[in-house]
Amino acid sequence: MQPNRVKAAVMTGPGRIETQHFPYPDAGEDGMVIKLELCGLCGTDKHTYRGETTQYGGTPAETSTPFPIIPGHEIVGTVADIGKRARTGLEYHGQTLAIGDRVVMCPDILCGRCYYCRNFHGFPLCENIRGYGNHYTSTEAPHLMGGWAEHIYVRPDAFVFKVPDSIDADIAVMTELMAVTYNLDKAKSFYSMDGEGFGSGASIAVQGVGPMGLLHVFKARIMGAGDIVALDRSDYRLAMARKFGADHTINVTGLAPAEVVARVRDLTEGRGADLVLECTGVSEAIPQGIEMGRRGGMYIVAGVFADVGTVTLNPHHIAARQLRLIGLCNHPPTGYVNSLKLLEKHQHAFPLRDFVTHRFSVGDADAAMAQAMKLDETMKVVITP
């Protein structure tokens, strides 16, 4: 029996969260309703909470958060209700879905009609992209368009993926962020014998090893990286990074940018890292990230998903270093199935179950956000409806 009302945490504006109730949504013939097991708090949610609400800035897809919203897009749950046509038409690869199946979903809704959707695939460039937990106001039906809730409505044009039976919710909740680590697969696609991109044994520096950066460390290790250097302000997170595959750690607290760069170079035979990944969400990290890459190396800016302001760069240092500077925003929907396979494959070789460190109910979402803002003793915070 389905409930009449659904509890959800609503962000009514920057810094403001309250509990509200909404009607249970109708799945119809083509939609679905997921009963949420877990929903992670993402760095994007932190941006929104701080009032950093511009996404895809400077592009045709630029948006600003339409408060009030139900945040949350790192979703895992079970099918609670499903339309007849959705049973074989909604799962990404055509698997049949039934009530009780565990699923994850890609939060991005793509229009499929714009120039970019019709001409380019992979990392989405859709001019009309809209994301669960970010771009749908809770004032408009079906209301439940974010994961900080007991149930979520799944549109017919959403991408849904069935979770292997061997993976529990604590690991499946990592799927969306694992798809983000396709930044490394992109870097791999640039590899050549001339030393570009990410080749076997390449040295990698990861700026910021919160949840996103930590999974980049993990992915780099299983993809064949050489030395991995993790940088952060938290000794707790750096210790976790070592468990997930980092060889060296640098706590940047109190260090001048030049000192940080010097330490990375010392760990990479004086040259700098072959590949540097920005996973901080802080624009000030980018100038020193450029400096810590070797000549002919690659720098990927991935963490500043929201507009967090400008920084000053010396473009000569990019040209003289012959650095490949790449911005990668979001993640490819095609990465979900293989991300699930990798999590399944390596769940016993790495401490993946240590990834979720804190759990909060829907009614305690404000406390969950406060915890997620802390660095020490905190990795992934989840809502457990």
DSSP result, 248-294: EEEE-TT--HHHHHHHHHHTTTTT-EEEEEE-SS-TTHHHHHHHTEE
> 169 with 288, same domain?
no
* Amino acid 371: pLDDT: 97
> 167 with 186, same domain?
no
> 215 with 244, same domain?
yes
Determine, yes or no, domain membership for 346.
no
> 375 with 265, same domain?
no
Cα torsion 289, 303, 328, 190 to 10°: value is 40
* Amino acid 338: pLDDT: 97
Amino acid sitting at position 188 = K
> 229 with 322, same domain?
yes
Please check the confidence at residue 61 and state whether its pLDDT lies above 90.
Answer: yes
Q: Which helix (H) or strand (E) holds 318?
A: helix 315-320
Q: pLDDT of 285-320, one tens digit each?
A: 999 999 999 999 999 999 998 999 999 999 999 999
Q: Residue 2: which pLDDT band, with cuts at 50, 70 and 90?
A: confident
Q: pLDDT of 151-207, one tens digit each?
A: 999 999 999 999 999 999 999 999 999 999 999 999 999 998 778 889 999 999 999
The range of the structural domain enclosing residue 244 comes to 179-327
Q: Residue 375: which pLDDT band, with cuts at 50, 70 and 90?
A: confident
pLDDT average, residue stretch 102-112? 97
* Amino acid 194: pLDDT: 78
> 298 with 320, same domain?
yes
* Residue 322, burial from CB neighbour count under 10 angstroms (0-12, 13-18, 19+): exposed
Determine, yes or no, domain membership for 250.
yes
Determine, yes or no, domain membership for 130.
yes
* Amino acid 247: pLDDT: 98
Pick the last residue of a domain from 284, 309, 327.
Answer: 327
Q: Residue 331: which pLDDT band, with cuts at 50, 70 and 90?
A: very high
Q: CA–CA separation, 167 vs 347, rounded Å?
A: 8
> 66 with 124, same domain?
yes
At 277, which CATH number?
3.40.50.720
Q: pLDDT of 68-101, one tens digit each?
A: 999 999 999 999 999 999 999 999 999 999 999 9
> 187 with 144, same domain?
no
Instruction: Classify residue 4 by its DSSP letter.
Output: S
> 170 with 187, same domain?
no
* Percent of the residues in the chain that have a pLDDT greater than 70, as a whole number: 100
Q: pLDDT of 108-136, one tens digit each?
A: 999 999 999 999 989 999 999 999 999 99
Amino acid sitting at position 214 = L
Q: CA–CA separation, 228 vs 349, rounded Å?
A: 18
Q: pLDDT of 227-251, one tens digit each?
A: 999 999 999 999 999 999 999 999 9
Q: pLDDT of 358-371, one tens digit each?
A: 999 999 999 999 99
* Amino acid 130: pLDDT: 97
Number of domains the chain is built from: 2
Determine, yes or no, domain membership for 134.
yes
DSSP result, 104-164: EEE-EE--S-SHHHHH--SS---TT-EETTTS-BTTSTT---SSSBSEEEE-TTSEEEEPP
> 164 with 183, same domain?
no
Please check the confidence at residue 210 and state whether its pLDDT lies above 90.
Answer: yes
Q: CA–CA separation, 266 vs 5, rounded Å?
A: 58
Determine, yes or no, domain membership for 344.
no
Instruction: Give the residue from 62, 189, 31, 43 showing the smallest Cα distance to 126.
Output: 62
Determine, yes or no, domain membership for 335.
no
Determine, yes or no, domain membership for 368.
yes
DSSP reduced 3-state for 34: strand
Q: 217: Cβ–Cβ under 8 A, 6 or more apart, which residues?
A: 206, 209, 228, 230, 241, 244, 245, 246
* Amino acid 328: pLDDT: 94
At 105, which CATH number?
3.90.180.10
* Amino acid 177: pLDDT: 97
Q: pLDDT of 31-59, one tens digit each?
A: 999 999 999 999 999 999 999 999 999 99
Beta-bridged to residue 39, according to DSSP, are 75, 383
Pick the last residue of a domain from 289, 311, 327.
Answer: 327
> 65 with 208, same domain?
no
* Amino acid 3: pLDDT: 85
Determine, yes or no, domain membership for 349.
no
> 283 with 189, same domain?
yes
